[in-house]
Chains A and B, each alone.
Chain A
C-alpha cells in the first residue's frame, strides 16, 4: 500500500516545461503604484481622457479599500502580504508592437510563441484559430484580423479597441465587473495594460475560435489584462485563453478581469487552460492568479458558458460567474482544478438568477495531490423575480495521496418558491484498487493515474473545443507525472 502512495506522490512531482525566460529589451515604468504611474501607463498607451479618468477613479477606490480592509480574507488560501508598491505595473517589449504585420514583431518573441506551440504564424491557417498574444503587458500580435473583419467581427488588443472603437468601450467597459466589485478588480481597472477585445455583430456566428495567449516574461512585474467580449443579438463566439510564465523564485501577481456580455439570443463560450508557473515543490515562487471573470446574459435566450482547466499558479482565486438577467437565459460553469505540491486553489462560480426560467449548470472537478489544497466555492442565488429558475450543481473532489485537502463551500440562496435546485457532491481517493486493476492489465502506474484522473474530468473535457481537450488531457498528465513511481 505504502509504495503505491509513494508512487502517486512522485507522479505529482513534475517539472514545469514552460519555465524559460526570453531575453528581450523591456520598456518598463518604475516600481510602485500612485496616480503618476497610472497617468504614465495611460500616456504610454496614448489613451483618450475618458480612460484616464476611469483608471484614476478606480485607483482612488482601490486606495480606499486598501486602507479600510485590504485584500479579501475570506478565501481558503494563505500567502504572505503582498507589497503593492514593490511591483512594476507596466512592462512591454521594447519596440513598437505593430498590430498590422507580424514581420515587425521581434523574432525573439515569435520564437517564444513557437516554443509554446502558439499558432501565431498566419501561415498556419489550417488551425483555424485566430490568436491575440499578450506578452507581459502588451498585445504583440493579433492574427486573422482581416478575415474576421470581413464578417464585421472585431478582434483586437484592448489598446487598439480604445483607439478605434471608443464608443463600444465606453458603452460596455466595467458594466459587468465595475471597479468597485472587489480589491483586485479595482487594482486591475487602475493599471490594466492590455488584453483582448471582441465584438461580434448582430446575427454573426464567428467562423473560427478566437484565442488569446498570455505570457508573463519580465521579472517583478504584475500582469493585469482586461478582456471584454460582446456578442450582439443572435451572435455567437467561442473564445479560448491560455497562459504560461517563466520559472522564478519570487511570486508574481496576475490580476485580470474578463467581462462577457450576451444580448438577445447570443451565445458566448469561454474556455481557459491556465498553466501559469505553479512554484517549486517547496512552494517557492509561482503566480498569484487573482482573477475576476463574469458574464452577463443581458438578453433573452442568451447563453454564457465557462469552461476552465486550472493546473498552474501558486494560488488561484477565481470565480467565473454568470448574471442571468434575460428571461430564459442559460449559464454554465465547467471546471477542472488541479493542485499539486504546495499549490492552493479557491475557485468556483456564482450563478445569479434574475430573469424568468433561467437555468444554470455547475460541474466542478477538483483534484488534489502532494500538499495541494483545493477549494470549491460556489454561490447560486435565485432572486424573487426568477420564476421557474433551475440549477444543477455537481461538485466532485479526487484526492491523490494523504497529505492534500479538498474543501467545498456551496452557498445557496433561493427567494422564489418555484425554483428547482439539485446539488450533488462527492469526494473520493484515487483508489488503490482502481490503480491495481489497471496495472494488473499491464498499464504503467503513471499512465494509470493519468487515465483515472482524465476519466474523472471527462464531463468537463468534453465541453472544451477539440484541440484544447487534447491539450488539457496532456497537461493534466504532465502536471501529475512523477507523483507515482
Chain B
C-alpha cells in the first residue's frame, strides 16, 4: 500500500480553482520533489495535505496510510503523521518554544495511546536536536519563532520535524531565504531523518536545495496539474532551461 495516494485532486481558494486534477503516489522511504513556477499550486497542494481550512477540496480523493485524509482535521492529520514545514512560520508570543514542542509531542503521543513525556525526558532530546541543527541555546526558551531570524525559523521547523518524527514530511519552500550555510544545515537535518518508513515531499522553486536533498522523483506542477515526472535529472534540466522553455519544448514534442 502506498503511503500517500492523491487521485484527481481539485482544490480552490476563495472560489478560484488552483489545483485542477493532481495525481501523485508516494511510497514510504521515497523522497519526491515538486517544482514549478510561481502560482502553479505548489503551496496549495501542501496546505490541502495539511488540511488547512481556507482551501476547499472540490474533487478527487487523498488516501494516507489507507485512510481518507480529507475527512481529517489538521490536528488529526498531524497525529496520523503528516508534517508541514511552513514556508513562513508564524510567531506566537508568550508561548515558550520548548513548551510548545513538548505539548505537540504529547498531543501526538496521546493520540497514539503512548505515555506523555515529562520535562526530564524531553529536555535532553530537545537540546541534542538543537545542537545537531546548530541552533543557539538562547532560542531554547524564547517564544515560538519570536525574534528568530529567517534562517532560525526554518531550522526551528526542521527541529520540530526531527522531534515529531512524522510519516510524511512536507517541506514548503524551506530553502527560500536561506544562505548557503543554513541551507546545508537544514539539509543535513532532513537527510538525517530519511528512513525506509518515512517519505518526504520537497516543494521548491529552485534546483539548489536538491543538490543537498537528493530526490528519488521530481514532478513539475504547472497550472494546477503535474505536467511531467522524472528522476533527479529533470530538476537539472529545469534549472538549465527555466520552466517556460522546458514547458514549451514539452508542448512541441506532443503530437499535434
List the interface of chain A (C-beta within 8 A of B). Answer: 1-4, 431-434, 436-445, 447, 451-452, 454-459
Contact = CB atoms under 8 A, between A and B. Distances in A.
Interface in B52-105: 52-54, 73-75, 77-79, 83-84, 86, 89-90, 92-95, 100-101, 103-104
Contacts of B203: none
B240 to A, nearest CB: 35
- Per CB-CB distance, the 5 closest pairs between chain A and chain B, nearest first, are A455-B94, A441-B104, A458-B94, A442-B78, A439-B74
A434 B90 contact: yes
A437 B103 contact: no
B92 A441 contact: no
Given A438-B100, A452-B95, 4 more contacts: A436-B74, A438-B104, A455-B94, A456-B94
A431 B75 contact: no
Given A443-B103, A455-B143, A1 B53 contact: yes
12 contacts: A4-B53, A432-B54, A433-B90, A434-B90, A440-B78, A442-B107, A442-B111, A447-B103, A451-B95, A454-B94, A454-B95, A456-B93
B108 A437 contact: no
B75 A444 contact: yes
B93 to A, nearest CB: 6
B contact residues, range = 20 to 34
A443 B53 contact: no
Majority SS at the chain A contact face = helix
B202 interface: no
B54 A1 contact: yes
Contacts of B79: 442
Given A439-B73, A442-B78, A3 B90 contact: no
**Most chain A C-beta atoms within 10 Å of own C-beta, residue among B74, B93, B101, B143:** B74
A4 B73 CA distance: 11
B133 interface: no
A454 to B, nearest CB: 7
B90 A439 contact: no
B75 A457 contact: no
B90 A442 contact: no
Contacts of B92: 434, 437-438, 451-452, 455
Contacts of A433: 90
A257 to B, nearest CB: 33
Nearest to B92: A434
B53 A455 contact: no
